[in-house]
Chains A and B, each alone.
Chain A
């Protein structure tokens, strides 16, 4: 199971759940909060 997040036409995340929840990207952290 993996996750892909699009923003403004680009892939800003592609990885598994653990990598997602530990991301330091502010947008991603807000997105998953």
Chain B
């Protein structure tokens, strides 16, 4: 199968932020009903890097993602995204910041009553972009996730893996500077999971987008750490030995 045309790399991606990181958590804590969920969390996500986030159920992984985009506010600590301090932003400023962040939800979260192209175009339609430009960009991202043929289909006509790919297309159509993945392979069989991991690797290596990925599958992250996207074959290939750390 010939490699599809790849979208142009986003020259605006990965700007230098005052904090020096795409995402930074500084001593962040939050509790619900006296139960401490996150306790003094600090970490940094450098620009262009992908960080996989693990923990048993209830360890606060999804809460951490919600904090990063200001859907929750911590009890203590500071959070910076693309140089802006999320923890001190107004709702209006948070709205603007979220336009620069793509989110892939755990269950794809597609609108069942909308066709694939409408789901993917949703954020562009809200921004008042012309219909011609929207169609061009929708087709481009659907080609990127290798689902251009689903343009006029409804989510109910798609497999679980295809819905997850559409969710990724929807997240990247605005050319976000940061991507947040919440269990992108959750509920999928191993073979389908691998196709999603391959797509995430492709997105990472083509766009160089910073990403924070919650996952329950350690193997997914090891695969991402040991593979890279090959434009010539349009496939994920192992990183040659000596250019990567020794992992299983």
Q: Which residues of B contact A1 (CB under 8 A)?
A: 49-52, 221, 224-225
Q: Please, could you name 29 A-B residue pairs with CB atoms under 8 Å apart, sorted by A? A: A1-B221, A1-B225, A2-B50, A2-B52, A3-B51, A4-B51, A4-B52, A4-B53, A4-B54, A6-B53, A6-B54, A6-B61, A6-B64, A7-B59, A9-B29, A9-B38, A10-B40, A11-B41, A14-B43, A17-B221, A17-B225, A17-B245, A17-B246, A18-B246, A18-B247, A19-B245, A21-B245, A21-B246, A31-B218
Q: Is the interface of B mostly helix, strand, loop or mixed?
A: mixed
Q: How many angstroms from the CA of A9 to the CA of B56 in the assembled complex?
A: 11
Closest to A13 in B: B54
Secondary structure class of chain A's binding surface, majority of residues = mixed
A3, B54: Cβ atoms under 8 Å? Answer: yes
| Beta-carbon nearest neighbor of A6 in chain B | B55
Which A residues are closer than 8 A to B by beta carbons? 1-11, 14, 16-21, 31-32
Q: Tell me, rounded to whole Å, the shortest Cβ–Cβ distance linking B206 to chain A.
A: 16
Residue of A nearest to B49 (CB): A2
Nearest CB of chain B from residue A14's CB, rounded to whole Å? 5
Q: Given the complex of chains A and B, what is the CA–CA distance between A19 and B246 in angstroms?
A: 9
- The residue that B247 contacts in the complex, of A2, A9, A14, A17, with Cβ under 8 A, is A17
CB distance from A6 to the nearest CB of B (A): 4
Contacts of B226 in A (CB 8 A): 17
**Could you tell me the distance between the alpha carbons of A32 and B218 in the complex, rounded to whole angstroms?**
7
Shortest 8 CB-CB distances between A and B: which pairs? A18-B245, A6-B55, A9-B39, A17-B247, A1-B225, A17-B225, A6-B59, A17-B245
CA distance A9 to B37 in the complex (A): 5
Q: Are A10 and B224 in contact (CB under 8 A)?
A: no
B2 at the interface (CB under 8 A from A): no
CB distance B55 to A3 under 8 Å?
Answer: no
B188 at interface by CB-CB < 8 Å: no
Q: In the complex the two chains form, what is the Cα distance from A8 to B50 in whole Å?
A: 23
Q: Bound state CA distance, A1 and B52, in angstroms?
A: 8
Q: Does B17 contact A (CB under 8 A)?
A: no
B14 nearest CB across to chain A (Å):
16
Nearest to B221 among chain A residues (CB) is: A3
Residues from chain B with Cβ under 8 Å of A21 in the complex: 245-248
**Smallest CB–CB gap between A13 and chain B, Å?**
8
Q: How far does the alpha carbon of A11 sit from the alpha carbon of B29 in the complex, in Å?
A: 12
| CB neighbours of A14 from chain B (8 A) | 43
Docked-complex contact A11 and B42, CB < 8 angstroms: yes
Instruction: Write the chain B residue with the least CB distance to A18.
Output: B245
- CA–CA, A11 and B60, complex, Å: 11
